[in-house]
Amino acid sequence: MFLHGTARINDKGHLEIGGCDTVDLAREFGTPLYIVDEALVRQRAREFREAFERTGLRFQVAYASKAFCVMAMCRLAEEEGLSLDVVSGGELHTALKAGFPPERIHFHGNNKTPDEIAMALDAEIGCFVVDNFVELMLLDAMAAERGRRVNMLLRVTPGVEAHTHDFIATGKQDSKFGFDLESGAAHEAVRQALERGHLELIGVHSHIGSQIFEVEGFRMAAEKIMNFAVDVREKWGRTFSVLNFGGGFGIRYVEGDRPLPPGTYVQAIADAVITACKASGYPLPEVWIEPGRSIVGDAGTTLYTVGTYKEISGIRKYVAVDGGMTDNPRPALYGAKYEAVLANRANEPASETVSVAGKCCESGDMLIWDLPLPPVKPGDLLAVFCTGAYNYAMASNYNRIPRPAVVFVRDGAADLVVARETYDDIVSLDRIPERMRKQAVNR
Ligand code: LLP
């Protein structure tokens, strides 16, 4: 069994995280419950920052809040000296409500609405990552209305795509995001940005993929971006002061996943930028990155209560838990794999293989196939590891199942950072038209 961060088995044979016995957490907060190991999140944030400090470059590590965006997480990001990448009005609102410094917020997205742009302009965020020509014009016009000049990066598609171990130089133009480098769209965007009176083009952004275990894709992207920067300087006389390489740094979900330490990715990017700058006499830019999953992913654990089971002789034993694709859609969406243990009997040897089903009315609602466990009984607690990223963030109310609570644990204390949804929360936005109201009330 692989235990992340502060997780350990205590002398009762229970899984403990952040010094909190998970059996006690289940009793106090109910299940399903997302548990976040606060020390591990802070450690990951520091690993990225310290790696940059070693390179001597100026930098920003912007937490990609899409991975897990709640107010307490924004506070934590601020405390750890991170910047914040937001991609919607909702994420921006969360950050601002949490008191996150607006000048450290970067706004992404391929279809920022005028309302969202207005919100971000009025909050005076640090930087817009402009994705397309429509946005370029709109942002300029809206900044002009406010008599302002706003910092922007251009999002470019560098023609490198990376997924786990595969990275390919695609010269890929077919993406919904950003300006293509190959076709000349990126140069045209630079021309337009420089022409506009209210945009301050400070640099470029690229993001090559997710759950990447190799540095090669980042190195290739850095080279392409540096070539572009050098061309832009020659052609348009503009020197970029910021290069942003996005996120995508991999984490260990299951046995066999071999992520690199955060510092290795950072060093590879820094080396590629520094080498290219030396070769072309380009002034060293600030380097920004946007890790999401690698900040919060392995710090999250979801605790479920086992309910029913069903054995199909000679075929499979299904064990059902009190959550599923509503709190973790990743297995159903991406075929994502997870590891899990019985939190209340974590020392017992595995003696059967079960498949963990969610409670949604959908056959595809399976969390883990073929998981070795001790004999499972109703009432046992199942802890699924590495659910910190893109779980709560992607949770739904399918089947009108309330979303779980989230707790931060550290040093033996647990703090509720998101309350469990209630059934009344679920109906709170419903409206019954007047003409139907009587029937409903009479029932
Ligand atoms: N920056 C940009 C521009 C991105 O598009 C993303 C992720 C990130 C940063 C953060 O990437 P990370 O470090 O977390 O890999 N829902 C999917 C992941 C979608 C990621 C989309 N963009 C999943 O559950 O695997």
Final residue of a structural domain among 247, 272, 291:
291
Whether 312 is in a domain gets the answer: yes
| 206 C-beta closer than 6 A to ligand 1 | no
Tell me the residue type at 396. S
Distance CA 287, CA 42 (A): 21
Tell how far the Cα of 64 is from the centroid of ligand 1, in angstroms.
Answer: 7
Kindly give the parts of the chain with pLDDT less than 70. 164-172, 439-443
Tell me: do 223 and 317 sit in the same domain: no
- Specify whether 351 is located in the same domain as 332: yes
User: What is the 412 CA–ligand 1 centroid distance (Å)?
Assistant: 31
Domain that holds residue 354: 8-37+297-427
- The pLDDT, as a whole number, for residue 162 is 78
Answer yes or no: pTM beyond 0.95: yes
CATH at 224: 3.20.20.10
Find tokens 């302009």 and name the residue. 121
pLDDT at 385: 98
Contacts of 392 (CB under 8 A, 6+ apart): 34, 68, 70, 300, 327, 403, 404, 406, 418
At 279 the pLDDT is: 97
Q: How far is it, in rounded angstroms, from Cα 351 to Cα 343?
A: 16
- The predicted structure's pLDDT at residue 171: 47
With respect to residue 134, please indicate whether it lies within any of the assigned structural domains: yes
**Is 152 in the same domain as 286?**
yes
Pocket test for ligand 1, best of 82, 243, 290 (most atoms within 8 A of CB): 290
Pair 241, 317 in one domain: no
Final residue before a domain boundary, out of 230, 257, 291: 291
Among residues 20, 127, 360, 361, which one is catalytic? 361
What residue's CA is closest to ligand 1, atom 24?
Answer: 390
304 Cβ neighbours under 8 A, 6+ residues apart: 31, 32, 321, 322, 323, 381, 382, 383, 384
130-179 confidence digits (pLDDT tens): 999 999 999 999 999 999 999 999 999 988 877 766 666 554 677 889 99
Residue 84 in domain: no
Whether 87 is in a domain gets the answer: no
Where in 113-198 does DSSP place strands (E)? 127-130, 150-157, 160-164, 166-169, 179-180
Are 308 and 267 found together in one domain?
no
Q: For 426-429, which contacts have Cβ atoms below 8 Å and span 24 or more sequence positions?
A: 426/397, 426/400, 426/402
Query: How many domains, the chain?
Result: 2
Any atom of ligand 1 within 6 Å of the Cβ of 285: no
Residue 174, pLDDT score: 77
Alpha-carbon distance of 173 to 222, in angstroms, equals 18
Q: Is 69 a catalytic residue?
A: no
The C-alpha atoms of residue 270 and residue 295 are separated, in whole angstroms, by 19
Give the model confidence (pLDDT) of 104-123 as tens digits: 999 999 999 999 999 999 99
Distance of CA 358 to the CA centre of its chain: 23
Of 32, 146, 28, 20, nearest in space to 383 by CA: 32
Ligand 1 pocket: which of 66, 218, 325 to mutate (most atoms within 8 A of CB):
66
Domain boundary among 235, 259, 291: 291
Q: Which of 167, 120, 158, 161 is nearest to 139 (CA)?
A: 120
Residue 276 falls inside a structural domain: yes
State the distance from the centre of ligand 1 to the C-alpha of 292, rounded, in angstroms. 6
